[in-house]
């Protein structure tokens, strides 16, 4: 994640999750840079001092509220995600070997990432994500916000990172005209 472009979260328990504070360089995080957020209403429960939670907290909350096995979410901004999200809705991922990292095999599993409109009201993006995930109970473990970036999740931080890196690889292929 370049500079301050992105955020990380991990489920604390059935009622809350930890998310990075807004505006921090991800290469320099420490435990004081995370805030615990209530799943029910998005309130800050602890941590962060006078810092605010990441702007994309509503998206993380939507994922935890709909994907019961999700224990970690990673969000990053990349050139490839911006390019892939332009003019595509959804983003159909190429069926190359790397797609297996998302749990996709040649069994008819969908290979399309939903694309959500980007605008300043991130809470409404979070609501759109939550509605989509409730209506699509077995999505790929990632999504894109148009002209913004990818969010990926998993049952562990390692799995979320694997999903994130796989999607970024596949988006790089698309950006290069594959």
75 labeled binding residue: yes
119 labeled binding residue: no
- Which uninterrupted H or E stretch holds 7? strand 6-13
Is residue 88 packed enough to be buried (19+ CB in 10 Å), middle (13-18) or exposed (0-12)? middle
Q: Specify whether the CB–CB gap between 57 and 151 falls below 8 A.
A: no
CA distances from 97 to 14, 107, 157 (A): 35, 14, 22
Binding residues are 75, 77
Binding residues for Zn(2+) are 75, 77
């Amino acid at each position: 994640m370049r500079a301050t472009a992105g955020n990380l979260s991990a489920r604390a328990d059935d009622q809350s999750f930890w998310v990075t504070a807004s505006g921090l360089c991800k290469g320099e995080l420490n435990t004081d840079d995370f805030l615990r957020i209530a799943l029910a209403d998005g309130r800050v429960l602890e941590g962060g001092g006078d810092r605010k939670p990441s702007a994309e907290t509503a998206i993380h909350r939507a994922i935890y509220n709909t994907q019961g096995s999700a224990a970690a979410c990673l969000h990053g901004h990349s050139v490839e995600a911006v390019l892939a999200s332009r003019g595509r809705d959804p983003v159909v991922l190429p069926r190359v070997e790397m797609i297996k990292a998302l749990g996709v095999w040649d069994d008819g599993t969908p290979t399309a990432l939903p694309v959500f409109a980007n605008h300043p009201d991130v809470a409404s993006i979070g609501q759109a994500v939550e509605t989509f995930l409730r209506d699509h109970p077995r999505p790929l473990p990632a999504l894109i916000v148009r002209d913004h970036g990818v969010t990926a999740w998993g049952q562990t931080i390692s799995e979320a990172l694997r999903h994130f890196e796989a999607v970024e690889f596949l988006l790089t292929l698309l950006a290069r005209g594959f």
